[in-house]
Chain A
Amino acid sequence: MWMLEIPPFLPFFIGALIAAVTRGNVRNIIMVAIPIVSGLHLWMVPEGVHLQFAFLDYQLVPYRADKLSMMFGYVFHIAAFIGIIYSLHVRDTMQQVAAMMYAGSGLGAVFAGDLLTLFVFWELLAFTSVFLIWARRTQRSYAAGMRYLIIQVLSGVILLVGALFYAAENGTLEFGYIGLDGIAGWLIFIAFGIKCAFPIAHNWLTDAYPEATVTGTVFLSAFTTKVAVYSLARGYPGTELLVYIGAAMTCFPIFFAVIENDLRRVLAYSLINQVGFMVVGIGIGTALAINGAVSHAFNDVIFKGLLFMTMGAVLHMTGRINGSDLGGLYKTMPKTTVLCIVGAASISAFPLFSGFVSKSMVMSAAVEEGYDWIWLMLLFASAGVFHHAGIKIPYFAFFAHDSGIRASDPPNNMLLAMTIAAVLCIAIGVYPSALYSLLPYDTGYNPYDATHVLAQTQLLFFSALAFVWLNLKCLYPPELHSTNLDFDWIYRRLAPVALQKTFSVIWRIDEAVRQAFLSKFDLLLAFISRQNEGASGLLSRTYHVGSMVMWVSVILAAYLFLSFFTR
């Protein structure tokens, strides 16, 4: 069939072109149709290499499909579809085009069969997504977008260098298992790590995502980090270091999330927390763990998208997103409230919601492989994510004290997009077999046994009880207008200030040295001129013309004499 040759990124890039030149309903219909048609097409594509050609001495494979990439391919189509519906009301060609290009780049990256193609899409992801941040058109978003772009491009450059080393070491660019031996392995690992928001490389995410547009953040939350998770799952399964990095990622962001005021930034922190679960799964590397990581990525795209959509709806309708400014919105935004609670229940992994059926696989794998402390950390993180994403987000936005804002539910297209996501969250939670059948391995895992359901429900309800108790005791930190320092303080504050201080010292020393030199030089000149005052000075004597002529002829004679030796 001729259709088989079309790589999934192509329809999206063509869609971006069409979106750039069309307007109104025509554009809307085409944009909605593209993920549907492309998704159906992908469904019929068999596994295998569908496109390859030789480039210099290397085999490039721009389109390779296997179970792992298919899984991400499907969810990216779903995410693009939901995101496009969510942004149908937007009249901003820049955003529409950027979103289509961005979704296409994500798809290109997960179907890339070699490191060079991966690099191309890796950079495209950065360059297309940054426009979704700049489209907010504020000073803050411009600066945040710049920082985002610099870090993302840095990740790409490291990936390219790593790929070149890899080609030199192994004689091939094929993107398969890489592992941490050799400099190439480490470089590529760091490149993936930056995009995956590893600790201390995570601030591009919490910095930029909350500054993006209402609809832009929904797209952003779906692709970049999941491409990184996919890449780690392909290149570094079973790398033990990932277990510890992932566990750190699950735990530290929840502290920041609890005290953060901007609710979309809270979600950005919880995005890192969820990616942490996936990274742990990849690090453990057993069939069950990889399945858990991949399926959790699949679910996370949907429920995190749903949460970002509900908070986007709040921002869109009220113009505010800080927890301290919101509250009581359930009164006039009941549909958004319910949809948000569905998302919150999913991310918290309540039984019958999507997070439960995937996160539990990672946890079970951790216990099975004897990672006791890691398991305890994950359990703590599960309670914590419920605390900040499951309770804090809906509570401070829709309940808490009445802010007096009486905004209505958002436009129908936004509600429709959120509803689709919510239905998927519940459907996957209730009927996980459909999801499991797509997974790379067949493990026969069943999340719904009495032990497990009871344990998780107990954990969550008593976390909620802790929230209630803390609130009643007035120990819960109130939402405050504030900025919380994180690692980005190092490069946003410390480094600039330190550089400024250093340079001001250098300049001061430089100035002093010049001054000293100039004054000494002046003294010297004065001394010389004093020495030569009047006609008696060494340099102010007069000479006869005749002696000048004599010396010139002496010099010329010396030249003549020397020239005999050079022959």
Chain B
Amino acid sequence: MAYSRGMRVRSTLLIQVPLLVLVAIVCGTAIAATDPGQALSAAPPAPAPPTRMLRAPERTPKYGGVLRWAGLADAPFFDLHQCDTAACATPLEPMYDTLLRYNPLDGGQTIIPDLAYTWEMSSDGLTYTFHLRDGVKFHDGAPLTADDVKASFDHIIFPPPGILSPRKSVFDAVQKVGVVDPLTVQFTLSAPRSFFIAAIASGWNVIYRKKTLEENHFDLKKVKVAPGTGPFIFDSYQPGQVWKMHKNPQYWNPELPYLDGLEMHHLPYGPATAAALLTGQVDYAYGLGADTRADVQKQPDKFTTVTYGIPSALGGYINFSHKPLDEVRVRKAMNLVLDRCVIKKSTAAIREINYGMWMPSSDTAHAQAYREAGLNHTPGYYCPTRPEDIAQAKDLLSQAGYPNGKGLPRLDIMVRNINFLVAWGPLLQAFLKQHLNIDSSVRTVETALWVDDWTKGNYDIGINGNPATVNTPAEYWKKWYGTGSSGNWNRGASNPQFDALVEKIRAEADPEQLSDLIQQGTKMLDDWVPALVFGDAVIIDGFTKQLKGCDRKDRVTLFDDNRFDTCWLDR
């Protein structure tokens, strides 16, 4: 085993909670029921400190060398809690740690300890107690305490006015973050959350110093050297160019990191990163682009490529506040005539996507069976589109009072000006016209203008991508389709029954019950059609064969395992 005390915990919701309980029992700690309204429960006796640490899986990893990475690294600002783009996550995360983390050795499929070497959950699932490692130091020499953890999570969950917190909804049930003692933190929830541990482990939730947060009025957007406890220490930063970091010699895990430093070059997604990799200027290229992956794969002795999905819903977001899109039969008709295989093929050369369904392929825990059962077995999900589905769509449109599209206004399809999204506007237009005789106009809009029209609801169907923080329907369904949620936008899409179901899913720990609820959810979405899902996003990375210790072939997360501490260069 490569890390401490055998506390590897499957992040999958199916087994996550029972395992957590098991872990707590194994650790010899009491599982105490707590009343969320009451004071913090007494700290359980701290388990013995860890004896084994995370390390590279190879027997004799080499120390030294600087990993040169290229990809999106032009962070719009420096506060990971406030940021919402990979351009922040990748260059900043190597300097920080989290309470728990996604395992870099299996592509982030499991959750392992990080600053917290162990944790317990109360029997009612309402209290989580985390025990911090002793002796961890920030890069400025200050010791890590529970106050820092509390300040960091308060910053995320209860942000002061004017402070962004794009992912605070995953912690909606957290009532309080409390300090039990200098090395113990306790989270009190108002309702159980089956994905709570997965949310805590998210790479975004890095631990800042309480003092740093306070000194900067809880706004670190312009603080590029906020000290962390991570394996790498900030050296320099050239805006829009490169981040340079060196190894943290005082890192709490004496085995890590293996690399002497990191250079993270900012290059736009696609051919530029591939060119840098092919010419040997970098060791790792994020976001190769489908068209240049083949060039990299022509040299299998030198490079490895990895393709992984990220929890996201790419497609047409329907504006329910515009008639007749509030009519479910119109939306269902549109959903039935989409040929999702054509959509996938249309951008295959520039951007690979997975076939669009209500659950993204990156959710390996829940989506696999649903996707296998749905594709080519369910109306609307056949490749190519079946004539009977098209006939059913026409019927639905007639029942809604628009036979052969008559009486329908010309729809405004607004497309965000991102290369692969741009291709989908005319495609959707063609499907609607060809099968339903619905007229529409396609409007491609620069991002600068897009956000304005998007937030004001100035569109009928907006083609965009929508990422999620945690790979579970409990989180992404709430974000994408939940009433008033940050990813559902101001488009009038609201279904109280679906909201109630998602709340049940968020609280459900029993795998069988959860599976049933999720199945109900997919049926409800088929009947409601809050969006036209074209696909979910896929990222293609390429890296030199000399890079070891962080093989990402099974990677399932983009934002959560960017620390590179187990990576080493075989030179």
A and B form one complex = no
